[in-house]
Amino acid sequence: MHRITRRGVFAIGAGAAALAASRRAAAQPQLPPHERELYEAAKREGEITWYSGQYSAETSEAVGRAFSERYPGVRCNVVRSTSQVAFQRLSQDIRAGVAQCDVFSSTNSGHFTQLKRENRLLQFRPRNADEMLRSIRIADPDNYFQTTFLGLYLMAYNTRKVSEAEAPKGWTDVLDPKWRDQLAVGHPGFSGAIGVWAVQMRKMYTWDYFRRLERNRPQIGRSSQDPVTLLNAGERSVGICVPIGTTMYSISRGNPLRVIYPTEGVLATIAPSGIPRNAPHPNAAKLFMEFQASKTMSEVIKRFYAEPLRSDVPQAEGARPLDQITLLAPSIEEQEKGVPEVREAWRDTFGV
């Protein structure tokens, strides 16, 4: 029998502690210096709250988990909603003097020019943004917000209800009376992307486009993703202004859908994120902004068929290369001025 002394017990305990410490060190991510410095400060804050209006709920939650896994000890609280609702929540926080949001992400770039003008944002430029696609670097020159999202919005149809030959080819084809009671679309009062799309359609076709669309009695949801759900259920035949990521992810799960690249072009929402000036966890917020511009983030969203933001992450299988697509995008100024206008006009025209 071996007799264990008190000194031996202490030695065993010290050895176990050293082994555990070495394992923790090995598990720590290998971060570049600029991220390491932010990470050390973010660990002291312990968490971040992200108002996410850019990605689907499932994608947003996956992003939050990936962030927390890359930076152990910093929990990401995901608050997912449509962009207009996220902005309303942030605006209510501001009016109430409550600091809850650390990073705000919206598909309506006009939100950020308004917040900047009101001095509501913190200046910060993520260094990882240097590695993003040059074509989407529309960041604020004063570094109050940075591009974190490239969303492509097009049309889709249920292949069990519509043949390829019959399917609409362009944005104006859905105005044909044959699509009466078969269309689905989101609402600009809730969805930032639908607001931007409405601005673009008004710019191209005047508001008469929507008067004619109303005659076909589309089913109007909230989010741009709602029509995909209706198509999957067979309740509607054609979805208007649906996100390509959500649609292709649904197709990958066996749903009978097909995307339509409109002949006039695809709506591109190149949208940013920003840090509220009163963010309760500013260092974690800066770290999250770095993460959104990182290769890891693009790899995560690619799994859900969203567009990667970096050239070192290829597009999801089946996606049409960007250089083969005509992209339609109103300017940030047009979005800030136009979205509130089309929201009001929409309610007058559609009654919702």
pLDDT surpassing 60 at residue 40? yes
Q: How far apart are CA 200 and CA 240, in angstroms?
A: 13
- Element holding 185 (H helix, E strand): strand 183-185
Lowest mean pLDDT among 201-215, 219-233, 316-330, 334-348: 316-330
Domain boundaries defined on the chain: 30-149+271-319, 151-268+326-350
What angle is formed at CA 126 by the lines to CA 125 and CA 128, rounded to 5 degrees? 140
pLDDT tens sequence across 239-289: 999 999 999 999 999 999 999 999 999 999 999 999 999 999 999 999 999
The topology under which CATH files domain 151-268+326-350 is: D-Maltodextrin-Binding Protein; domain 2 (3.40.190)
Token pair listed for 16? 């176990």
Kindly compute the dihedral angle of the four CA atoms of residues 131, 134, 136, 137, in this order, to the nearest 10 degrees: 70
d(CA 264, CA 275): 35
Residue 264 region by backbone torsions, left for phi larger than 0, else alpha for psi between -120 and 50, else beta: alpha
CA distance 130 to 209: 40
Q: Do residues 275 and 124 lie in contact, with contact meaning Cβ atoms separated by under 8 Å?
A: yes
Q: Which amino acid is located at 221 in the chain?
A: G
CATH class of 30-149+271-319: alpha beta
pLDDT tens digit string along 68-103?
Answer: 999 999 999 999 999 999 999 999 999 999 999 999
Question: Does residue 11 register a pLDDT over 80?
Answer: no
> DSSP state, 316?
P
* Span between the terminal Cα atoms of the chain, in Å: 83
| Consecutive H or E run containing 86 | helix 83-96
pLDDT digit string, tens, across residues 307-336: 999 999 999 988 899 889 999 999 989 999
